[in-house]
Amino acid sequence: MISRLEELYSQVLLELGEDINREGLQKTPHRVAEAMQFVTQGYHQDLVTIVNDAIFHESSDDMVVVRDIEFFSMCEHHMFPFFGHANVAYIPDGKIIGLSKLARIVDMFARRLQVQERMTAQIAEAVDEVLAPAGVAVVIKARHLCMMARGVEKKSSEMITSHVLGAFRKDRATRAELMDLLNSHTGPY
């Protein structure tokens, strides 16, 4: 795949009017091909492998929230980056998941050509699938270079999306508790 992408990126540079033999561009098609393979690796990952049996039986039914999971993705409309933080919450119903697995689930969906709305739902539905919890919520805040660097050029714009299932959808108090936790600052971390 790398060699085919390298050929295609060479063609793109030529179409832009560049000299692909000049010093600064000689290895650019190869570097871009490798970079694109990296930022789209989510296509080659699956939920079962990501979770890797890191589901544990636990009687807790208290809300679990992982805030500010950094992610980087690519807008499927312009192939420009968007990046930000994902917040993932769930209410266990007999099972919990290894903490790092939530970040890996976020990355699996972020490392594809995406729209933020779909990515938010995919993360929530994946957590729901592996845990069958009483509720799942995902809130994502991101900056989109397709809006910042081109088009309307709004440098300070951010997009916030959420997808809630179960108790977070049905119970306003549960949803409010989550939002309080997401908006609180509890110290140096």
Residue 81 DSSP SS3 = strand
| CB 136 within 8 Å of CB 168 | yes
Transcribe the chain into DSSP letters: -HHHHHHHHHHHHHHTT--TTSGGGTTHHHHHHHHHHHHTGGGG--HHHHHTT-EEE----S-EEEEEEEEEEEETTT--EEEEEEEEEEE-SSEEE-HHHHHHHHHHHHSSEE-HHHHHHHHHHHHHHHH--SEEEEEEEEEEHHHHSSTT--TT--EEEEEEEEHHHH-HHHHHHHHHHHH---S--
User: Annotated active-site positions, please?
Assistant: 75-78, 116, 144, 146
- Using only C-alpha atoms, the chain has a radius of gyration, in whole angstroms, of 20
